[in-house]
Amino acid sequence: MSARRAQLSRRGFLGGSLLFVAGAAVGCTTSPTGAASAGAKTTLNVWSHAYGEAGTQQALTRYAAAFTKANPDIAVKVTWVPGDYGSKLNATLLTDAAPDVFEIGDFSESLARRGQIAVLDDLYGSAKSDFNQGALDMVTVDGKLYGVKMIDDIMMLFYRKSVLSKAGIAPPRTFDDLVAAAKELTAKKTKGLFLGNDGLGDSAALAVLSNGGALIADGKAAFGSPQAAQAVAGLRRLHRDDSLLLGFTTDWWDPAAFIQNVVPMQWCGLWAMPAIQKALGDDFGVLPWPAFGTGGSPVVRVGGWSSCVNAKGKNIDAAKKFVQWLWVEGTDLQMDWSVSYGFHVPPRTSVAAKADKLAEGAAKETVTLATKYGKHNPSTWNSAVSTMFSAAAAKIVKGGDAARLLTDAAKQAQPEIDKQRS
């Protein structure tokens, strides 16, 4: 869930915690330690990154209140974490202040291998077969499940139907089409395409995948391949044509630039679709990232968030009970979380099948695209590895030697990948 309101930064909500005691909400500080409840034997600290969609914080606190009402011996404090959630979480997990339950974005198997997250196979029960295979695969390490997927997020290209039609441009189906369309749609006061304020966003990884390459394969950094070099070097064309929007007030995850007619094409996510529909009606379409060449394939990125339990916490059983109650058994709440605050795909197939808001129009088309072209980031694609890759890509689009830069970056990244797998 990554949509953000235009007037906010990506995680611009103020942090806050709420302690729920037998259904009553008590204001707390954002400290992970919090105050113990006099009316409960256990107090769980549950961490969430600061979602940008209106109503999300209130929803999570309602869920916590409902759980405590059903389980009066367990109080739940929801800690709303603004800023760089990943860095704050990783740092806190090394301390006694680590949360009992926490969410993570793209799953990292290193957390499991370091013994920081608990095995959760026992939580699934008969519901396991109802989770889509991608959701299970994402949290699986050596055959064991270390999390429960909360939502599937889909990322793709949005385009303005009327703008492209007026310019006589068909929706781009190949990378050459995308380059040509972005150039043609660029004017004095507007640009043709928004990929991110740095001019890259996800595009370098998408380029590799769309040319038949891989980021990591069989535990090895694979982005030093000829296919990867060819595709990332191809991104230079967008930069040389000066057709990319740079330095906007919000980044690619927010649809503001698209809604405000600053660009007619933007890489964004399904979460933004309700805001886009409200602003533009049906004057937009969705596309996968186009295939780079004849041997490539279109790409739609699938991410999302998973709930995990601190394996070193003092309240493991209670934490597991909360995760099971909400993200395995709580199908009504899962539906609410998936479609009431932006659009996301419920990982449980029976819940997804009842998501009427995803069963028509552009939302349905997006889900179909994800089924056909969806790609997840590898579980060892952590911030260190992705930063090395992105740094090389940034130099490449400015004219650097793609083969050399990506080969060097892959060599530098391999020890970090090996460390995660050991």
310 close to 118: Cβ distance less than 8 angstroms: yes
Six-digit token pair at 195? 């990929």
Closest CA to 358 of 326, 375, 327, 335: 335
Could you give the percent of the chain with pLDDT greater than 90? 82
Structural domain boundaries in the chain: 16-153+304-364, 154-301+375-421
Phi, psi of 31, rounded to the nearest 5 degrees = -60, 135
d(CA 340, CA 54): 10
User: For residue 128, what pLDDT is reported?
Assistant: 97
User: Where are the strands (E) in 50-168, listed by range?
Assistant: 74-81, 101-104, 140-141, 144-145, 148-159
User: For residue 108, what pLDDT is reported?
Assistant: 85
Largest CA distance in the chain: 68
CA 390 to chain centre: 17
User: For residue 8, what pLDDT is reported?
Assistant: 33
User: For residue 28, what pLDDT is reported?
Assistant: 36
User: For residue 402, what pLDDT is reported?
Assistant: 98
CATH class of domain segment(s) 16-153+304-364:
alpha beta
Only one residue has tokens 């209140």, namely 65
3-state secondary structure string across 190-234 = CCCEECCCCCCCCHHHHHHHHCCCCCEECCEECCCCHHHHHHHHH
User: For residue 295, what pLDDT is reported?
Assistant: 83
88 close to 31: Cβ distance less than 8 angstroms: no
Q: For residue range 355-370, what is the model confidence (pLDDT) as tens digits?
A: 999 999 999 999 999 9
- Helix (H) / strand (E) element for 14: namely none
User: For residue 422, what pLDDT is reported?
Assistant: 79
Residues of the chain with pLDDT under 70: 1-38
User: For residue 40, what pLDDT is reported?
Assistant: 85
Closest CA to 298 of 147, 178, 153: 178
78 close to 18: Cβ distance less than 8 angstroms: yes
16-153+304-364 matches 154-301+375-421 in fold: yes
User: For residue 33, what pLDDT is reported?
Assistant: 33
Q: Considering the domain delimited by 154-301+375-421, tell me its CATH architecture.
A: 3-Layer(aba) Sandwich (3.40)
Q: For residue range 32-68, what is the model confidence (pLDDT) as tens digits?
A: 233 334 478 999 999 999 988 889 999 999 999 999 9
Closest CA to 56 of 274, 248, 279, 258: 274
Which DSSP state fits 267?
E
- Helix (H) / strand (E) element for 402: namely helix 402-421
Only one residue has tokens 């899962």, namely 334
User: For residue 188, what pLDDT is reported?
Assistant: 87
Torsion of CA 150, 153, 366, 339, to 10 degrees: 50
User: For residue 414, what pLDDT is reported?
Assistant: 97
Which DSSP state fits 97?
T
Q: For residue range 158-180, what is the model confidence (pLDDT) as tens digits?
A: 999 999 999 999 999 999 999 99
- Helix (H) / strand (E) element for 119: namely none
Torsion of CA 189, 191, 197, 199, to 10 degrees: -140
- Helix (H) / strand (E) element for 388: namely helix 383-396
